Amino acid sequence: MPSRYGIDIEHRVHAAADAHVALAAAVIALAAWWRPDPRWILALTGLGALIAIAILRRPRIVQVIAVLTCLAAVASVRGDQAWQALEPDQLGQWQGWTTVMRDPEPSFGAWRVVLQVDGERFEVREYGRASGLRISRWQVGERKLVSGTRRALDADRVSWVAPQHIVGRFDIDWVADEGAGAALHRFTNRVRDAVTRASTQLGAPHDALYLGLVVGDDRNQPDEMVERFRASGLSHLTAVSGQNVAFVLAAAGPLLRLLSAWWRWAFTCALILWFVAFTRFEPSILRAGVMAGLTATAFVVGRPQRPVRIVALSVIALVTVDPLLVSSIGFWLSVGATLGVTTVGPWLARRLHRLGPLALPAGITLGAQLGVALPALLVFQRLPLVSLPANVLAVPVAGVVMLYGLPAGLVAANVPAMAGAVMAPVDVGVRWVDTVAIVASALEPPAPWVVTGWVLVGIGVAAAVWHGRGSS
């Protein structure tokens, strides 16, 4: 019995510590988004301290309040600084070397690209076939000698592009010369070029879906494909995330295991950094990369941490460094899905044991949907009911494509004689995922029935949890 009590006490201590870190992450994120006046922070802190001492008689809570106050103040100041930095230093004519910060993408009849001009990011839009062809082949990290005019953004555009740190728009007059950029970007661009060449083995539109699954590049997906993946609740598959990072590390696992602990940690962090750069530092992959790095660090120092704490520490680190991430829906979908998959998912799976082999995928899928429900409803005003069976059917196959697709693409690009055979399994997997999206989107019921369906799912899950609570 003593050992049992010891385990229970240790579990409670770790759970309390996890809760404190999660609360700190929530406070930092809220303060960075809200950016309250420091006087309000001090006033609320004083009120909370008085309540803790005079009414609750909990002096320890004062310590917690003090720490949270410091975190909130830092996040609020950092948030203000980040938004003030979105004001361009100078506008008007400019000529010189720029760096491509985002790959060109089609946008409302134009080609859009982001350039770093004199240390600030500007959005470029090029209309017309000739102008579009000029920038459509540019890649992140490349250097361009340009001349043009820096202009202010439209007021309604500022909040949309804030997470990308864009301060204005840039109208190009001419481009005279170019350079390949830094070594890291040259290497990642070569790998992306190879994977893109391999995608031609699949044919349109599955080549675009393959690139979305493997590297998160969904720029060339046709509108109807984008819509059916949203309607089926599968659009997350074309946004690189923790699953992609896990598969890359799994593929490198046999080599990493040959190294000593600290060398393995160093090469793991280097591989994570490369993959984050390879997938263009998107908010979801930043979250996944930081989580993977923290997990690897905790493991090598002999102090493994629970997923909740790793997620919270990732949010704290990322929002402190870049407060504008709180304006990114991709970031919050990624955080919510990760929390749902790592906490609610396993808990539900244990209580849905009556489903047999389907208990784990059903629990994980429900957990992920619960995690993304709030941001999805607020931004997209939809939470597809068919996402439950669609994810159960599509995610395992998509995972195989993610794991196998990158090395297969590199082989296919560099050994053309083997391209057809190597890419055949990828073709089957991509077509399966797309077929699931097509069928699921066609079966999605009208909005009123979606609400009814989710209510019934909630009742069913609650009943299953109630009957299976003794088996947890």
Question: How is 389-440 classified by DSSP, letter by letter?
Answer: HHHHHHHHHHHHHHHHHHHHHHHHHH-GGGHHHHHHHHHHHHHHHHHHHHHH
Q: Could you tell me if 121 and 227 lie in one domain? A: no
For residues 183-200, give the mean pLDDT.
93
Residue type, 429: G
- Is there a domain that residue 186 lies in? no
Q: Could you tell me if 72 and 123 lie in one domain? A: no
Which CATH number does the domain housing residue 122 bear? 2.40.50
For residues 431-447, give the mean pLDDT.
94
CA distances in angstroms from 268 to 17, 242, 245, 433, 434, listed in the order given: 27, 14, 11, 30, 32
Beta-bridged to residue 114, according to DSSP, are: 102, 123
| Number of domain units in the chain | 3
Q: Rounded to an integer, what distance in angstroms lies between the CA atom of residue 90 and that of residue 71?
A: 33
DSSP state of 356: G
- Is there a domain that residue 419 lies in? yes
Q: Could you tell me if 214 and 290 lie in one domain? A: yes
Q: Are strands 166-179 and 120-126 parallel, antiparallel or unpaired?
A: parallel
- Is there a domain that residue 343 lies in? yes
Q: Could you tell me if 123 and 228 lie in one domain? A: no
Confidence (pLDDT) at 114: 96
Q: Rounded to an integer, what distance in angstroms lies between the CA atom of residue 67 and that of residue 460?
A: 42
Q: Could you tell me if 51 and 146 lie in one domain? A: no
For residues 43-58, give the mean pLDDT.
61
Which residue segment(s) compose the domain that 139 sits in?
92-181
Instruction: Point out the domain boundary residue: 68, 84, 100.
Output: 84
Percentage of residues in the chain with pLDDT exceeding 70? 89
Instruction: Check pLDDT > 90 for residue 102.
Output: yes
- Per-residue exposure over 137-150, b if at least 16 CB sit within 10 Å of its own CB, e if not: ebbbbbbbebebeb
For residues 331-339, give the mean pLDDT.
92
Q: Could you tell me if 253 and 162 lie in one domain? A: no
Confidence (pLDDT) at 2: 46
Instruction: Point out the domain boundary residue: 84, 106, 121.
Output: 84
Q: Could you tell me if 104 and 144 lie in one domain? A: yes
pLDDT tens-digit map of 409-422: 999 999 999 999 99
Q: Could you tell me if 257 and 168 lie in one domain? A: no
Q: Could you tell me if 244 and 383 lie in one domain? A: yes
Are 417 and 411 contacting, i.e. CB atoms less than 8 angstroms apart?
A: no
Confidence (pLDDT) at 67: 76
What's the token pair of residue 307?
């997923």
Instruction: Check pLDDT > 60 for residue 5.
Output: no
Instruction: Check pLDDT > 70 for residue 48.
Output: no
Q: Rounded to an integer, what distance in angstroms lies between the CA atom of residue 330 and that of residue 423?
A: 30
Confidence (pLDDT) at 135: 85
Q: Could you tell me if 303 and 431 lie in one domain? A: yes
Which carries the bigger pLDDT value, residue 197 or residue 381?
197
For residues 156-172, give the mean pLDDT.
93
What's the token pair of residue 40?
């309000």
Percentage of residues in the chain with pLDDT exceeding 90? 53
Q: Rounded to an integer, what distance in angstroms lies between the CA atom of residue 323 and that of residue 318?
A: 7
Instruction: Point out the domain boundary residue: 160, 181, 202.
Output: 181
Beta-bridged to residue 177, according to DSSP, are: 145
pLDDT tens-digit map of 249-279: 888 888 888 999 999 999 999 999 999 999 9
Confidence (pLDDT) at 195: 95
What's the token pair of residue 374?
């709030």
Q: Rounded to an integer, what distance in angstroms lies between the CA atom of residue 205 and that of residue 399?
A: 19
Instruction: Check pLDDT > 70 for residue 57.
Output: no
Confidence (pLDDT) at 123: 95
What's the token pair of residue 423?
């890419």
- Is there a domain that residue 20 lies in? yes
Band (pLDDT 50/70/90 cuts) for residue 36 is: confident
Q: Could you tell me if 390 and 272 lie in one domain? A: yes
Confidence (pLDDT) at 73: 83
Instruction: Check pLDDT > 90 for residue 375.
Output: no
Band (pLDDT 50/70/90 cuts) for residue 44 is: low
Instruction: Check pLDDT > 80 for residue 83.
Output: yes
Q: Could you tell me if 284 and 406 lie in one domain? A: yes
